[in-house]
Amino acid sequence: MPSSYNLTDLTTLLDAQLLGDGECIISGIGDAATATAGQITFISNKKYLPQLDTSAASAVLLAAPLDNCAVVNQLIVADPYLAYAKLTLIFDNRPKTPALIHPAAVVDPSAKLGEGVRIAAGCVVEAGAEVGDHTELCAGAVVGPNAKLGQHCLLHANATIAHHCVLGNRVKVHSGTTVGSDGFGYAPSRDEGWVKIHQLGRVVIGDDVEVGANCAIDRGAIKDTIIADGVIIDNLVHIAHNVTIGKRTAIAGCVGIAGSTEVGAGCTMGGFVAINGHLKIADNVHFNGGTVVTKSIAEAGHYASGSPMQDVRSWRRNMVRLSQLDEWVGRIKKLEDQQ
């Protein structure tokens, strides 16, 4: 892609309406407050409108024309935040891996590579694996035996896809992440200790999924672990064996979901949400960060757990009382009886 565009071009690319100078050249995106000349900015929330008064941006994405605005070039769009997202693709600066198999990559002769596949140095594609058209593997990525990647996928450096796992199209996996590690399954034996249950299932990921850095998604024990289309997952997320995640669910960093839990579609989880195993979470359930989920949830809604942050002294005093709470409730009841 070119590194700069004039506003007429951007107007077309974003399906916008242009107020101002179509010849103005834009070479990047900036925050309203810190953008420099030649950059375009956006306002997705009215409370940030005052930032435009002093903005040096050469153009702005807005939901409606703004009179007397310091930024005279305005691109009017239905959803400025969505238009900004599309703009980031236009100005994406990530250097792509060249469209060839680097001589220092190792591709097993039995692997099948699609057209336009990009494989960087240090990658390993094992026997029987399939890599779809235009998929890109950055340095050190490993595609295990018989794994299958769709088209236009992107494995960042040092990502690992284990044997037999399946990625749909346009799946992105960030560095350090493991797709297809063994689930944590053992049979206890007095004589032999924990006897490993070899994990025979796969991880099957749909289309348009993104998995952040240093996540671990376990393969199923017998059946598969399933991540549906459009799911987005942040960093350091643990998804155990046989979990299923419904379409377009969004999972923030440091979340852990224990085995066999079924999460619905359209859910959101803040950071550090911890979900027990064998639960069923309905569609459109939203968890605050840090929620510990120990029961199934049948109804859409917002849920939370966790205790409030305080200065250490107040917190200690309150926590002593919390550890006696049932007793204090008993004393309230006794007082009530005495009325």
Extended beta strands in 85-181, E state:
106-107, 112-113, 118-119, 124-125, 130-131, 136-137, 142-143, 148-149, 154-155, 160-161, 166-167, 172-173, 178-181
164 interacts with its own copies by CB under 8 A: yes
CA 252, CA 262: separation in Å to the nearest integer? 17
Q: Which CB atom, from 99 or from 104, has the smaller least distance to its own copies?
A: 104
Query: Which three-class secondary structure state does DSSP give residue 85?
Result: helix
336 interacts with its own copies by CB under 8 A: yes
8 Å CB contact between 218 and 184: yes
Residue 304: partners with Cβ closer than 8 Å, 6 or more residues away: 287, 288, 290, 291
- The single residue among 45, 54, 68, 189 that binds its own copies, judged by CB under 8 A, is 189
Q: Which CB atom, from 116 or from 122, has the smaller least distance to its own copies?
A: 122
29 interacts with its own copies by CB under 8 A: yes
Residues 50 to 89 in contact with its own copies, rule: CB under 8 A: 79, 81-82, 84-86, 88-89
- Give me the active site residues, please: 241
**Structure tokens belonging to residue 164:** 């037999």
Tell me the C-alpha to C-alpha distance, in Å, between residue 160 and each of 134, 169, 228.
Answer: 18, 17, 19
171 interacts with its own copies by CB under 8 A: no
Q: Which CB atom, from 148 or from 172, has the smaller least distance to its own copies?
A: 172
Residues 8 to 27 in contact with its own copies, rule: CB under 8 A: none
Instruction: Point out which span in 5-13, 18-26, 53-61, 198-206 binds its own copies (CB under 8 A).
Output: 198-206
* Least distance (Å) between residue 42 CB and its own copies: 10
Residues 249 to 288 in contact with its own copies, rule: CB under 8 A: 250, 252-254, 256, 258, 271-272, 274, 276, 288
CA 280, CA 245: separation in Å to the nearest integer? 10
100 interacts with its own copies by CB under 8 A: no
